[in-house]
Amino acid sequence: MTKVSGKHRRTLEQIFTRPVPNTIRWDDIEKLLIHLGAKMSEGRGSRVRVYLHGEVAVFHRPHPKPVTDKGAVASVKQFLENAGIRP
């Protein structure tokens, strides 16, 4: 697995925090996913398809605010766990 440090580590730890925070910026999640080796492709509207370690997920970028809602954070957490990623 890719070594995760600094801001990426903080983002990863926030994703796995309970209760689920509602303060994580989506662009920080995207940067973490890319750092971990994810490939991303644009879908329709605000959708983004993410491929990581054989796992595939589709997420919706939040708008108009840049902060990710709790449900989306929980989905990202599940995706990361399925891909073998934990803090």
Which domain range does residue 74 map to? 6-82
Backbone φ and ψ of 64, nearest 5°: -80, -15
Q: How many domains does the chain have?
A: 1
Instruction: Specify whether the CB–CB gap between 67 and 86 falls below 8 A.
Output: no
In a domain, 1, yes or no: no
In a domain, 40, yes or no: yes
From first to last of its 87 residues, the chain has per-residue pLDDT tens of 567 778 999 999 999 999 988 899 999 999 999 999 999 999 888 899 999 999 999 999 988 889 999 999 999 999 999 999 998
- CATH value at residue 74: 3.30.920.30
| Structure-token match 């440090």, residue found | 5
Q: What is the pLDDT of residue 1?
A: 52
Tell me the pTM: 0.91
Q: What is the pLDDT of residue 45?
A: 87
